[in-house]
Structure 1
Amino acid sequence: MGILKVVEERPTPPSVYNWRVYVLAIIASCGSCMIGYTSAFIGTTIGLESFQDEFGLATKTTAEKNEVSENIVSIFVAGAFFGALGTYCISHFIGRKVCLSIGATVFSVGAGLTCGANGSRGLGLLYAGRVLTGLGTGVASNIIPVYISELAPPAIRGRLVGLYELGWQIGGLVGFWINYGIETTMPASHEQWVIPFAVQLIPSGLLLLGSLWIRESPRWLFLKDQRRKAMDNLCWIRQLEPSDMYITEEIAGIDKIYEMQKSTVGFGFWQPFKALGARPYLQWRLFLGCMLFFWQNGSGINAINYYSPTIFRSLGIDGNTVNLMTGIFGVVKAVMTFIWLLFLVDQLGRRKLLLIGAVTGSVCMWIIGAYVCVAEPTKNPTDHLTSSGTAAVFFFYLWTAVYTPTWNGTPWVINSEFFDPNFRSLASGITTASNWLFNFLVSRFTEQMFASMGYGVYFFFASLSFLAFFFAFFLIPETSGVPLEQIDRLFEIKPVWRANKALKAQLQEEEQQFRSRVKSDTVHQENLKGSEIDSPL
């Protein structure tokens, strides 16, 4: 079961899986590329000798340097938190497409400001730019999965939303390696550390240009009662005529769920808030979506993304080798994201990936922590890695290889599918903001945790990964292959681990009944026409 294999809930014309739907997803994923890059490059860039010298960090104590690096990282994450929350307001009124343009623009302005910082101006301009890039990141991280999920056919929805994660990892790969390249090829200078900051403008510029070409989400247009434009966009994306049975069925499904939403929740700005307060089942589902990001960050991934030099030094690696090992970390993540995207997310399913990742990730973290506890590599430095140190590095990369196709991208896919159309924008804003909130806590206190806890940090991450298994097993249903308009029914079926199979059986039966009725109506109309022709004048 590879990239060309799809599992359909109903017969689908081959033209639905066309180049347009992939290009739209790729353009939107330029936003995740800028997020991945800016999350990855910062840790090693602010550790460059040229950066440290220019801003006087070389003369500061370790605690003072840790505070500065934590501030540079955490204010970006704080900006992303507020950007994600604010996206609901603008996406509700002006749509998904314009949100992508706004996110790219704000990010680009912030990236430009960071390039203007220097020793004489101090860190103020850098801080301001990081806040703006964070705001743009929050907007993009919220709207991209929503946009892609709303235009994707169900059978390849996980694959297309997975492009969001792929873009993140490609950006991260460049971010991890760029510092290795400039440190080994350029002398320490102002330009050396400015280049990584300037590269942020490339993916944000591509997203800004692409947002001028892409089409608005048909589902958002239907929600706003712009049916003609919604039909045009849907037929353009699917490459089908309006009279095609597939289009008829898709619109019927959208209309059915929107009519239900109109009679129960409503389409106004405040209606989703009221629905959330009055409906415990929505609160529960929102809690599950936020908790997915809690467990994701609890695995330790963002501690590694932001502070990879600290992580590798705790394993006994130092000097230029740190940037090399960080670059390999980025390569492993990117390769495993390809595998996840092409062969796992739609074929193996979301739920199984979470379960596998939780158990394997926990085991690897326990082993790494045990090595640091026993060997104490920072207190007993050597000029080369011992055999046990090599084993620890192996399990670190094994953890990376398993975590990447499981808990790294899968929570984003699930959260893009969990909620009905009228609640999806608000829910996406809240769940994405929760990711950045947990991300902020990790980024703000990682250096301090390693200073005070040492090997205990690895045991902490291992314990959270172990608990994440039970969370996913008992509470998260499989969402792959289920139309967005039928997600509510998925949560009505118990037990959770059988819900997906049971719902697909129900949908297949309903599909057969629908086609039988359409065929019967067509035959009946043809018979009536025949009777009119045969009847005497």
Structure 2
Amino acid sequence: MTVFAIACGSIPKGYDEGGFAAVAGLDSFLRDFHLTPGRWNDASSPAQLASRRAVVTSLGVLGAAIGAVVACAITDRIGRLRAWQVFVAVWMTGFFAATFSSGSIGLLLFARIWGGVGAGGLTVVAPLYLTEIAPTSSRGMIVSVYMVILLSFLMAGFFINYAALMTMSSSRSQYRVVLAVPQIPMGLMLIASLFLRDTPRWLASKNRGHEALMALARLRGSHAGDPEVLREFAEIEKQIEDESQMLADASMWTIVKEVATVASYRRRFLLGVMMQTVAQWSGGNGITYYITDIFRLAGITSKRLSLVTAGSYGATKLVFTVVFTWGLIDYFGRRRCFMAGLALQCVTHVYMAVYMALWRESRNRAASDAAVASVFVYAVGWSIGLCTVQYLYGTEILPTRVRGVCYATNMAIHWLYQFAVVCVTPTMFSSLDVWGAYVFWACVCAVGLVVLGLWAPETKGVPMERMADLFSGPWYMGWRAKISPSDPHHDGVSTASDPALCRRTVGPAGLTAGSGGDGKWWRRVDDERGVKHASPGKKKIYLA
């Protein structure tokens, strides 16, 4: 129940990419908001009308970028659950205003930005919450439920538009019904969230240990005296205690400075940024938002058929995301999945570039069918690759202290990229004659294969408290990083947080003294792996 309710925070993003993107093409919507030829002096230019439609669509994405920044400021202060509830309420009021804006373009644009703030905040808070409550063995599957629900509503958005087009008259009621649908499940989940608790990790970081233990026991379906629950709770508390300051005492500016100056934090944060960069500029949301136009360019000219095909595209993404979630991600691992996904994306982009350059106007039926098929193959690659992995890496590789700020910043970048992609994709299609856009996307995929292939370590099965151990070597050796349970330098309980969380002074004989939650220790780096050894008589702490 907890996982499903929180994962429904993906509905606003999914429905925006499917439902609203398709609504913006309905004649009833275009007429009501004066986006049809004859309403503007320069309306003879299709590019002008397309530009206005792109503004209506993209303002929601711009609002989402703002929402991600707001999430950065409030998530650690008020908690994951309360932040989730706030952003759901913001999105619902914005979407409600858009539904009943009744031809007022100004109100619609404001509603798009306001609703986008809620949607953007939820893309930060929901995966963050899911990551922090998930057991290590099934963390990938649980976080991926977020994407399953997102894609379910992306697909549903296309089919709901198709049903409205086929069964309702072209009036305000047509697009209002389409926009009202997602508000029903979100309202129910908001009510359900009143019976949930915040994450044990956040509660522990706020010195609310008893509440954290009770929340953890409830999540595991057990009681507070269960040895497994107590063991997991001890690991969470140990990580929190090893940090020099509790989250409640650290300002956002302090955390930002630490991320900028601590190599381990900086590398992990930049890895998340790189994943967002490759995911967005390899065609991901550009293709999704303009999928009906792409199918038209591939030879499907009927509006009704293009909506059905777009819905089938969404269904393909959903099916393979489910396969990814409940099979591949925690079996084959994150690296193999995103590498295979990027490779598939690159191949399909190359074919589409060739098709758009050579056969688009030739009425070659075989080439057209292959182009449509390649779009579906692309959907498979996207679904098993960065579609989900970008969210999973962004939440699992950083410690509690900086996770909220770093992930919120990553999601703000995600939304700014998406805003740019939604705005520039029509221009890319026009100025680069479509095929050039596909060449660009293929190049991004190729660069991503090399850079992420070297940089990103495998995190499958690694406890969140030991993630720092994967980032102690050079960035380009990340592909070789792994945690060995038999490593004699690990005590098998947990790892400490990064060294920048300690106040350091120079000690004797090249040793460094640090002071943190467990008191004082000495450390020395005396082998190539960078293993830190505690001084005699002190409890050994592994600093990554």
Q: Which residue type is aligned with residue 108 of structure 1? A: M
Query: Does the alignment pair 1:432 with 2:420?
Result: no
- Distance in 2, Cα, partners of 1:101 & 1:169: 21
- Distance in 1, Cα, partners of 2:78 & 2:494: 38
Identical pairs, percent: 27
User: Where do residues 49-88 of structure 1 align in structure 2 (5 Å cutoff)?
Assistant: 49-59=27-37, 60=43, 61-88=45-72
**Which of residues 190, 193, 213 in structure 2 aligns to 1:231?**
213
- Distance in 1, Cα, partners of 2:235 & 2:487: 15
Number of the residue aligned with 2:19: 41
Q: Structure 1 residues 371 and 507, CA, compared in 2 at 3 Å: closer, same or farther?
A: farther
- Distance in 1, Cα, partners of 2:221 & 2:455: 38
**Which of residues 355, 359, 362 in structure 1 aligns to 2:339?**
355
Structure 1: give runs of 5+ residues left out of the alignment.
1-22, 515-537
Shifted more, 65-74 versus 219-228: the winner is 65-74
User: Where do residues 170-181 of structure 1 align in structure 2 (5 Å cutoff)?
Assistant: 170-181=152-163
User: Where do residues 127-526 of structure 1 align in structure 2 (5 Å cutoff)?
Assistant: 127-262=109-244, 267-270=249-252, 271-319=254-302, 320-377=304-361, 386-454=365-433, 455-493=435-473, 495-500=477-482, 502-506=483-487, 510-511=491-492
Q: Is the 8 A contact 2:136 2:462 kept in 1?
A: yes
The Cα shift of 1:285 comes to 1.5
Structure with bigger helix share is 1
The Cα shift of 1:235 comes to 1.4
- Distance in 2, Cα, partners of 1:507 & 1:236: 34
- Distance in 2, Cα, partners of 1:89 & 1:352: 34
Q: Is the 8 A contact 2:65 2:416 kept in 1?
A: yes
Query: Does the alignment pair 1:31 with 2:15?
Result: no
Q: Is the 8 A contact 1:27 1:207 kept in 2?
A: yes
Q: Deviations over 1:19-71 (max 9, x none)?
A: xxxx2111101110232012211222111122222223221231221111111
Shifted more, 278-287 versus 331-340: the winner is 278-287
Q: Structure 1 residues 138 and 512, CA, compared in 2 at 3 Å: closer, same or farther?
A: closer
Q: Is the 8 A contact 1:482 1:504 kept in 2?
A: no
Q: Is the 8 A contact 1:105 1:204 kept in 2?
A: no
The Cα shift of 1:196 comes to 1.5
Q: Which residue type is aligned with residue 386 of structure 1? A: R
Q: Is the 8 A contact 1:82 1:135 kept in 2?
A: yes
Q: Deviations over 1:391-420 (max 9, x none)?
A: 111111111112212111111111110111
Q: Deviations over 1:107-154 (max 9, x none)?
A: 0100110011223xx311111111111000111100111101111100
Q: Which residue type is aligned with residue 29 of structure 2? A: F
SS in 2 for 1:348: coil
- Distance in 2, Cα, partners of 1:272 & 1:229: 25
Q: Which residue type is aligned with residue 180 of structure 1? A: Y
Q: Structure 1 residues 274 and 265, CA, compared in 2 at 3 Å: closer, same or farther?
A: farther
- Distance in 2, Cα, partners of 1:512 & 1:101: 34
SS in 1 for 2:481: helix
Shifted more, 197-206 versus 127-136: the winner is 197-206
- Distance in 2, Cα, partners of 1:396 & 1:460: 16
Q: Deviations over 1:146-197 (max 9, x none)?
A: 1011111000000000011111111111112111111122221121122221
Shifted more, 485-494 versus 359-368: the winner is 485-494
Q: Is the 8 A contact 1:100 1:207 kept in 2?
A: no
Superposition RMSD on alpha carbons, in Å? 2.1
Q: Deviations over 1:190-224 (max 9, x none)?
A: 21122221123123213311211111111101000
User: Where do residues 518-537 of structure 1 align in structure 2 (5 Å cutoff)?
Assistant: none
Q: Is the 8 A contact 1:365 1:461 kept in 2?
A: yes
- Distance in 1, Cα, partners of 2:172 & 2:245: 61
- Distance in 2, Cα, partners of 1:475 & 1:94: 34
The Cα shift of 1:84 comes to 0.7
Q: Which residue type is aligned with residue 453 of structure 2? A: F
Q: Is the 8 A contact 1:310 1:447 kept in 2?
A: no
Q: Is the 8 A contact 1:223 1:267 kept in 2?
A: no
Structure 2: give runs of 5+ residues left out of the alignment.
38-42, 496-544
Q: Structure 1 residues 232 and 402, CA, compared in 2 at 3 Å: closer, same or farther?
A: same
The Cα shift of 1:457 comes to 0.9
- Distance in 2, Cα, partners of 1:45 & 1:424: 36
Q: Structure 1 residues 399 and 218, CA, compared in 2 at 3 Å: closer, same or farther?
A: same
Q: Is the 8 A contact 2:67 2:116 kept in 1?
A: yes
Shifted more, 49-58 versus 109-118: the winner is 49-58
Q: Structure 1 residues 358 and 508, CA, compared in 2 at 3 Å: closer, same or farther?
A: farther
Higher relative contact order (CA 8 A, sep 6+): 1
Q: Which residue type is aligned with residue 472 of structure 2? A: E
TM-score after normalising by structure 2:
0.85
Q: Deviations over 1:87-110 (max 9, x none)?
A: 122212210111111011000100
The Cα shift of 1:247 comes to 2.4
Q: Which residue type is aligned with residue 464 of structure 1? A: V
Q: Which residue type is aligned with residue 197 of structure 1? A: L
Q: Is the 8 A contact 1:87 1:99 kept in 2?
A: yes
- Distance in 2, Cα, partners of 1:45 & 1:159: 32
Count the aligned residue pairs: 484
Shifted more, 41-50 versus 474-483: the winner is 41-50
SS in 2 for 1:57: coil
Q: Deviations over 1:478-518 (max 9, x none)?
A: 11111111111111256322323x4444399744999xxxx
- Distance in 1, Cα, partners of 2:308 & 2:494: 59
Q: Structure 1 residues 255 and 438, CA, compared in 2 at 3 Å: closer, same or farther?
A: same
Q: Is the 8 A contact 1:96 1:216 kept in 2?
A: yes
- Distance in 2, Cα, partners of 1:31 & 1:507: 42
SS in 2 for 1:58: coil
- Distance in 1, Cα, partners of 2:161 & 2:292: 12
SS in 1 for 2:225: coil
Q: Is the 8 A contact 2:4 2:145 kept in 1?
A: yes
